[in-house]
Every structure is written in structure tokens, then in C-alpha cells.
Amino acid sequence: MNVTFDERTHVYRVGGREVPSVTTILKPIQADMSTIPPKVLENARRRGVAVDKAIELLENGCLDQASVTEEVAGYLEGWEKFKAAYGWMTFAGQRVILGPSAEYAGMLDLVGESTLRGRMILDVKCTYVTPKTVHAQISGYRLGIKNDPVLAEWNQCNGACVRLKKDGTYEVTEIDFTAGERMFYSCLNIWRFNHG
């Protein structure tokens, strides 16, 4: 089934039909950010996009180190430390996945292998704290991997959120897929109820 992603509007379509993103489905359990000034949120979003792009280029072997800004450098250093400590090798990155029954879609950060944890799905964050939603988020991605002809065999892998910090360190949260899938399906059922 053909799934497309419009980066500008952050909209996924399956055969021309708009489907919700994993992030949209998880809105009922996301932290309330209404008190955070829009400029702060936009700066955080922009920084996250820049760090994601730097990691993508690094993992593809085409990052020009001279192009790394001071703002991104610490986060990238944290990524390099994670890779070394976990023996990480990327298999695929920034890949659109389609949920079961083509009901939702999402953008998977990274899939790869770790000498410590075996095959893994990773979500990379540059947030102040690791969001509680990561268990449900990565579980939603793993459920969708079964539909991907390249990644289907990875559906029984481990998962983690790697929170990179501007000081060049990182924090890993291992994913509890049992609790994460329950929470994801609860949110999906709310979405179905509201949009059914």
C-alpha cells in the first residue's frame, strides 16, 4: 500500500486518504504545553529537526563536520557516545511506517543493531525530559513495522528512547512494549471514537 508524507504539513496519506500520525493518536496523553511560549516550542522543534538531520547525515556517511552548528554539536556528541557505548549500527532511518489495516502512519527515527541489546527501534529526543509517551509511541511504530517489506522481521526487536543532551551526554529509556502497546491501543480507540 502506498503511503506518502508531506513534510510541510506533517500529513500522511494512504492511497490519497489522510490517516492520523502516531503523534496525533497520542494527543490524549501528551503533556500540556499550552503555558510554554510559542517561540520556545518553535525553537525546540527547529533544534530537534536539525539534530535529526545531522544524525541522518552522519549515519549515511555524508555529514560535513564543518556544517555542524554550535547548537547541534553537543547533541551530536551525545549520539556518538551512545553509539560507542551500545555498539550501535544503523540499518534504516527516517522511515515512514504504516500501521495495521493502514489505519495510521508514522516516521520511525532509527532501526539498527546494538551489541548490547540486539535489534532495536530507537527514537531520538532532544527534550528537557524523556516524555512518558515514548513507550506508546515506539510501540505504535513497532506494530507498523509488520507491514514494511524491508523491516517486517524486526517486529520482535527491543526499543529505546535516546535522549540527547546539549552537554554531550545522553540518557536511554528502555521501552516496555507490553505497557506501551496497551497505552497506544487505548489512544487509538479514543481516536476511532472521536473520528469514527
Those residues with Cβ within 8 angstroms of residue 136's Cβ, 6 or more apart along the chain or in another chain: 26, 29, 180, 181, 183, 184, 187
- Locate 132 and state its grid cell: 512518558
Give the per-residue pLDDT at 135: 97
Phi, psi of 135 (to 5 degrees): -65, -45
Does residue 1 have a pLDDT over 80? no
Does residue 155 have a pLDDT over 90? no
pLDDT tens digits for range 7-31: 888 899 998 899 999 999 999 999 9
28 in Cβ contact with 182 (< 8 Å):
no
Does residue 148 have a pLDDT over 90? no
55-82 mean pLDDT = 95
Phi, psi of 187 (to 5 degrees): -65, -40
Does residue 63 have a pLDDT over 90? yes
CA nearest neighbour of 157 among 141, 171, 170, 173: 141
Transcribe 147-190 into DSSP letters. T-TTTGGGTT-EEEEEEE-TTS-EEEEE--HHHHHHHHHHHHHH
For the chain, the average pLDDT equals 93
The domains found in the chain, sorted by start residue, are 3-195 (3.90.320)
With residue 193 as reference, give the H or E element that holds it: helix 177-195
153-171 mean pLDDT = 93
Distance CA 91, CA 172 (A): 19
The larger pLDDT score, comparing residue 80 to residue 1, is at: 80
Distance CA 149, CA 66 (A): 37
pLDDT class for 141, splitting at 50, 70, 90?
Answer: very high
H-assigned helices in 5-145: 22-25, 38-59, 70-86, 134-145
119-146 mean pLDDT = 94
123 in Cβ contact with 136 (< 8 Å):
no
Q: Is the pTM of this model over 0.75?
A: yes
Give the per-residue pLDDT at 3: 87
Those residues with Cβ within 8 angstroms of residue 113's Cβ, 6 or more apart along the chain or in another chain: 88, 89, 91, 119, 120
79 in Cβ contact with 118 (< 8 Å):
no
